[in-house]
Structure 1
Amino acid sequence: MASDRHTRLVALLKVAFPLMALGLLSTLFLLSRQNDPDAAIPFADKEIQDRLRDQQVTGPFFSGTTADGDQISFSANRLTSPSGQDGANRAETVNARLRPTKGAEITINAEQADFDISEDRADLTGDVVITTADGYRLTSDLLTSELSTLRIVSPGPVEGTAPGGTLTAGAMTLEKDGATDSAQMNFTRGVKLVYTPRQQVE
């Protein structure tokens, strides 16, 4: 048990450290700027408060591995720390790429992602699109992902295309199969797959 906790902690830190580094860099950048009275641009008090509260990094990128060796890379247009919360980060225009040790590569795009390092959790919202190398392209309003292991959940409906047709379901979970150690999608709650035969080329 102690070994499992140590392995999970190491995997979480591999993902957490890049995020914390980005936050530290943004803080150092803001604090190191010197005020030049002759060149300073006047800001309203509210705008100054917003800038101090929402420290941000433009174009962040990081990559890491889970406890099982799955590779994860992440990029966004902007990363902020809303309300100055320690360990909490918000990313905008997000692209995440997952390369499991076994199974198809997965790409996730979303308008926004909220990371909570202390909770080992990320919530992706806003036109979330999941694409896999083996032929799935699904949309969801919300995806919840663990940071230290490969487990992604859509607690609400997903819909889109699957190999051979169209697919709708009330929920979805993407995680490692215990028997094969391969990344698999599991659909639940009113699953509907409509088969679309391929047209033969004459």
Structure 2
Amino acid sequence: MDGYSRLVGWLKVALPLLALAILSSLFLLTRRIDPESAIPYSDAEIADRLREPRMTDPAFAGTTRDGAMVTITAAEARPAEDGGGAARDIRAQLATPDGARSALTSAGLRYDRTSGLAVFEDGVLFSNSLGYEFRTDSMSLHLDRTGAESGGEVQGHGPLGQLTAGRMELRPAEDGASPDAGYLLVFNGGVRLIYQPRTP
């Protein structure tokens, strides 16, 4: 047997042993895991969550009957006994089939399962891809069909200038019409417009 054959024979034995030694050292040198340190909550926080269940960073996405996409995210949500719930630090988007997009942000949200409404509360900012932006105290968003209504006065601006109204509503251009008919922002209840023409 020549030197090359002897070397190959030794390597066939030595290399598997070396690999086994490296593999075993990984387990021997790995730090032990403390199961209690892996839990990011204190005993008081765990007891609080058991007493009042909640979800962190929840998200909802759905489609209305007429094809609009609705997405809602929150920092935290809590279920209610009636099947509804409440959430805080809300961001929502409504994309209608005609290509327009509306965004809503608010400090709080209440979901009414009976009516299928998401009620944005504690100060709402509504903005639209058509150039409208308004603030109001509360706004209801339908989750089964495209529609939204302010709970009171709205103040803001649009393509024509500053606008104040007792109520604002987003609805299909014609009741029962196809989504191709488009959607309207309707203002009523003492509408006041300060016209501000755009400079060329």
Structure 1 vs Structure 2 CA RMSD:
2.3
Distance in 2 (alpha carbons) for counterparts of 1:140 and 1:133: 18
Q: Residue 115 of structure 2 aligns with which residue?
A: 119
Which AA in structure 2 matches 1:173?
E
Q: Higher relative contact order at CA 8 Å, sep ≥6: structure 1 or structure 2? A: 1
Deviation digits for residues 130-165 of structure 1 (CA, Å, limit 9, x no counterpart): 000010000000101222111111131001011121
Q: Residue 191 of structure 1 aligns with which residue?
A: 191
Q: Residue 62 of structure 2 aligns with which residue?
A: 64
Distance in 1 (alpha carbons) for counterparts of 2:97 and 2:134: 22
Which AA in structure 2 matches 1:59?
D
Task: Pick one of 38, 57, 71 that aligns with 1:73.
Answer: 71
Q: Give 1:184 shift.
A: 1.0
Q: Residue 15 of structure 2 aligns with which residue?
A: none
Runs of 4+ in structure 1 over 2 Å off: 39-44, 50-54, 197-200
Deviation digits for residues 33-52 of structure 1 (CA, Å, limit 9, x no counterpart): xxx7xx994539xx94x533
Task: Pick one of 95, 102, 108 that aligns with 1:106.
Answer: 102
Distance in 2 (alpha carbons) for counterparts of 1:102 and 1:42: 51
Distance in 2 (alpha carbons) for counterparts of 1:113 and 1:126: 8
Q: Which runs of 5+ in 2 are unaligned?
A: 1-35
SS of corresponding position for 1:43: helix
Q: Give 1:107 shift.
A: 0.5
Q: Residue 7 of structure 2 aligns with which residue?
A: none
Percent identity, please. 30
Q: Which runs of 5+ in 1 are unaligned?
A: 1-35
Tell whether the 8 Å contact from 1:103 to 1:183 is kept in structure 2 after alignment.
no
Deviation digits for residues 101-147 of structure 1 (CA, Å, limit 9, x no counterpart): 12521001111110122321121112200000010000000101222
Q: How does 1:158-169 map to 2 (within 5 A)?
A: 158-169=154-165
Distance in 1 (alpha carbons) for counterparts of 2:63 and 2:113: 15
Distance in 1 (alpha carbons) for counterparts of 2:126 and 2:75: 19
- Which structure would you say has the larger Rg? 2
Q: How does 1:1-202 map to 2 (within 5 A)?
A: 41-43=42-44, 48=47, 50-81=48-79, 84-102=80-98, 104-178=100-174, 181-200=181-200
Tell whether the 8 Å contact from 2:137 to 2:151 is kept in structure 1 after alignment.
no
Which AA in structure 2 matches 1:60?
P
Tell whether the 8 Å contact from 2:70 to 2:143 is kept in structure 1 after alignment.
no
TM-score (norm: length of structure 2): 0.72
Distance in 1 (alpha carbons) for counterparts of 2:167 and 2:150: 5
Distance in 2 (alpha carbons) for counterparts of 1:188 and 1:41: 52
Distance in 2 (alpha carbons) for counterparts of 1:134 and 1:55: 40
Distance in 2 (alpha carbons) for counterparts of 1:199 and 1:68: 38
